[in-house]
């Protein structure tokens, strides 16, 4: 979801604001894709052609269980011939303005080369992660030890220092492992993107966007964010959702919204402590709950996301005791953008997926950062130390966050001077995010510049074709 949603928004803006036609190719991580995934994909507006890439052949998971990254890499490799066919059929009628791929999409570069089209990457995470990616080959060449043993943080221009415990999991494995090799290969792929990288951030949030360390050469970087879900997906999934009516009844800024994204789950024990902590905080809440994951200690990525009856995994009597002040949403999908945009919401407990954090910023909601997987710890560090938009729950090394800690961190975001300062800061960031998307804002201007360049290249190519004909 964290990739599909900004891509859909990018395609929408290219069509609606910049006069291009767009074809959005998408593939789901799961087969068959979830109902929500298909609904998000289907919500792209007119003018965007949607093409579902078929799921790759089912891998023999029992013989060799594959990591998410490996499964994605396999899916990408097997999709290249189809991407070529689709791009060729588009280019048969009009010159292809550009091919823009996800961070895992480097193998499709051959298609752009064959068609003579500009090739871009759209990085759907923050600049800080992109910067780590782009500097990784240089860091890798100079570090002798394992990253996990490094005493010093990694310092990138204009970014908060990245401490070892905040590095993405793929950097903490043995550097001789395949997982690490494929991570470095992905980083190198990004670093050699010929025409440039679009990144879902904006300069007021990450002022150092595009800055390189001495001696490191980066491809051109374009901050096109914040591209986020601003339209309802469907009436039943969003606008008419009963939680919005419930929020209408609550005082302004009084509700804590808790969600761990489309794939994040907690352990049973942590779910209990979170429930008791919410109760202890004495604040109102909306909790988009997922069935706990029994096996993994610190939460899972695309873990067992079954949705059972809440009382089975919530503390005895919790639902009854909190019935007046709390709403537990047990459906697989909550209308997050509408919830965060509601005036009653005053705090967002988030797993730090980048889209969720951008949505928190866009709606001016102070956050409790509770990272679970991937680059989320870095996102949490950036939002806390750099942007002043979040306070981190102490989830280091997968430790259990007690109910007292849950209540305390929520109170810090909801009550007192520190909370006032955060609200003020979030108000400023919200205005800047809104401005970035306005007619003369950075996102619109950057996309306008890019599309002008793409159109003029495509026009000169079509003139060449005419002359040759
Ligand atoms: N989302 C939503 N309802 C849900 C779960 C997720 O609307 O119940 C949206 C959320 O608003 C965000 C995206 O799905 O736009 C999740 O992206 P993110 O990068 O935050 O995390 P991911 O789910 O990819 O880990």
One domain for residues 195 and 293 = no
Q: Do 405 and 443 lie in a common domain?
A: no
Instruction: Please give the residue range of the domain that contains residue 53.
Output: 4-229+438-468
For residue 301, name the pLDDT band (cuts at 50, 70, 90). Answer: very low
| Range of weakest confidence among 266-270, 274-278, 366-370 | 266-270
Residue whose Cα lies nearest atom 14 of ligand 1: it is 1
Mutate to test the pocket of ligand 1, among 348, 355, 370, 372 (most ligand atoms within 8 A of CB): 355
Residue minimizing CA distance to atom 3 of ligand 1: 334
The number of residues making up the chain comes to: 469
Count the domains in the chain: 2
Q: Are residues 211 and 290 in the same domain?
A: no
**Who has greater pLDDT, 54 or 419?**
419
**Any idea of the CA torsion for 208, 214, 217, 220, to the nearest 10 degrees?**
20
Domain match, 241 and 225 both = no
Residue nearest to atom 16 of ligand 1 (CA): 2
pLDDT of residue 300: 45
Nearest protein Cα to ligand 1, atom 7 = 336
**449 and 347: one domain?**
no
312, 209: one domain: no
Here the CATH number for the domain that contains residue 185 is 3.40.50.2000
Q: Which of 163-172, 238-247, 315-324 has the lowest mean pLDDT?
A: 238-247
469 pLDDT above the threshold of 60: no
Query: Is it the case that residue 305 has pLDDT exceeding 50?
Result: no
Write down the mean pLDDT value for the chain. Answer: 89
Task: Name the band, by pLDDT with cuts 50, 70 and 90, for residue 297.
Answer: very low
Pair 307, 189 in one domain: no
How far does the centroid of ligand 1 lie from the alpha carbon of residue 356, in Å?
6
Q: Are residues 286 and 344 in the same domain?
A: yes
Ligand 1 pocket mutation, candidates 4, 126, 260, 262, criterion most atoms within 8 A of CB: 262
ipTM metric: 0.99
> Whose CA is closest to atom 15 on ligand 1?
355
Question: Ligand 1 atom closest to Cα of 332?
Answer: 8
Residues with Cβ within 6 A of ligand 1? 1-2, 5, 229, 259, 261-263, 288, 333-334, 336-337, 353-356, 359
Least trusted range by pLDDT, from 29-43, 138-152, 261-275, 443-457: 29-43
Atom of ligand 1 nearest to the CA of 264: 25
- The pair of structure tokens assigned to 224 is 């096109």
Residues contacting residue 55 through CB under 8 Å, at least 6 positions apart: 27, 28, 31, 32, 75
Q: Does 185 share its domain with 254?
A: no
In the prediction, which pLDDT does 41 show?
78
**pLDDT tens digit sequence for 90-147:** 999 888 999 999 998 999 999 999 999 999 999 999 999 999 999 999 999 999 999 9
Residues 26 and 70 in one domain: yes
Active site residues: 3, 102
Q: Contact 246/236 with Cβ under 8 angstroms?
A: no
How many A from CA of 334 to the centre of ligand 1? 9
Residue 469 CA to ligand 1 center (angstroms) comes to: 49
- pLDDT tens for each residue of 61-88: 544 556 677 777 788 888 999 999 999 9
If asked whether residues 218 and 300 sit together in one domain, one would say: no
Q: Which of 4, 102, 356 to mutate to test the pocket of ligand 1 (most atoms within 8 A of CB)?
A: 356
pLDDT at 78: 87
Percent of the chain with pLDDT over 90: 70
User: 449 vs 126, 159, 268, 432, 461, CA distance in Å?
Assistant: 21, 26, 50, 20, 19
| Closest by Cα among 92, 89, 90, 111 to 100 | 111
End-to-end CA distance of the chain: 44
**Cα of 21 from ligand 1 centre, angstroms:** 26
State in Å: Cα 352 to ligand 1 middle. Answer: 10
Nearest to 299 by CA among 255, 257, 350, 359: 350
pLDDT for residue 236 is more than 70: no
How confident is the model over 46-54, as a mean pLDDT? Answer: 85
Whether residue 336 is predicted with pLDDT greater than 90 in this model: the reply is yes
Do 345 and 420 lie in a common domain?
A: yes
Question: Ligand 1 mean position to 116 CA, how many Å?
Answer: 35
Residue 468 above 70 pLDDT?
no
pLDDT of res. 76: 85
């Amino acid at each position: 979801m964290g990739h599909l949603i900004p891509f859909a928004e990018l395609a929408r803006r290219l069509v609606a604001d910049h006069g291009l036609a767009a074809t959005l190719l998408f593939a789901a991580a799961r087969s068959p894709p979830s109902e929500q995934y298909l609904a998000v994909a289907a919500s792209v507006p007119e003018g965007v052609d949607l093409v579902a890439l078929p799921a790759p052949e089912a891998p023999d998971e029992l013989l060799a269980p594959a990591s998410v990254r490996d499964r994605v890499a396999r899916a990408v490799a097997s999709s290249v011939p189809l991407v070529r066919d689709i791009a060729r059929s588009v280019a048969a009628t009009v010159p292809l303005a550009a091919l823009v791929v996800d961070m895992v999409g480097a193998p499709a570069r051959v298609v752009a080369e064959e068609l003579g089209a500009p090739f871009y990457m759209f990085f759907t995470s923050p600049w800080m992660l992109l910067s780590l990616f782009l500097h990784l080959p240089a860091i890798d060449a100079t570090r002798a030890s394992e990253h996990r043993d490094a005493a010093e943080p990694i310092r990138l221009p204009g970014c908060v220092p990245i401490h070892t415990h905040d590095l993405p999991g793929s950097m903490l494995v043995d550097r001789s492992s395949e997982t690490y090799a494929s991570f470095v290969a992905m980083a190198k792929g990004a670093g050699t993107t010929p025409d440039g990288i679009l990144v879902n951030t904006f300069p007021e949030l990450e002022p150092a966007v595009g800055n390189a360390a001495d001696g490191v050469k980066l491809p051109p970087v374009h901050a096109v964010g914040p591209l986020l879900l601003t339209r309802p997906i469907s009436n039943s999934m969003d606008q008419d959702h009963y939680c919005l009516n419930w929020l209408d009844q609550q005082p302004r800024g009084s509700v804590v919204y808790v969600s761990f994204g489309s794939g994040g789950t907690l352990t049973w024990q942590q779910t209990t402590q979170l429930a008791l902590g919410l109760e202890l905080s004495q604040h109102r809440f909306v909790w988009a709950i997922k069935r706990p994951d029994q096996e993994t200690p610190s939460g899972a990525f695309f873990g067992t996301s079954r949705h059972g009856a809440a009382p089975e995994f919530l503390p005895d009597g919790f639902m009854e005791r909190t019935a007046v002040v709390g709403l537990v949403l047990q459906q697989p999908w909550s209308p997050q953008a509408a919830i965060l945009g509601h005036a009653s919401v005053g705090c967002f407990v988030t797993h730090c997926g980048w889209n969720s954090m951008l949505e928190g910023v866009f709606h001016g909601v102070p956050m409790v950062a509770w990272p679970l997987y991937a680059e989320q710890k870095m996102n949490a560090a950036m939002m806390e130390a750099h942007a002043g938009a979040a306070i981190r729950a102490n989830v280091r090394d997968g430790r259990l966050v007690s109910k007292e800690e849950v209540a305390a961190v929520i109170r810090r975001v909801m009550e007192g001077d520190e909370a006032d300062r955060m609200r003020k800061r979030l108000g400023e960031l919200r205005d800047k995010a809104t401005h970035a998307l306005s007619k003369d804002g950075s996102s619109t201007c950057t996309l306008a510049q890019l599309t002008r360049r793409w159109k003029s290249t495509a026009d000169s190519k079509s003139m060449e074709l005419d002359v040759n004909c």
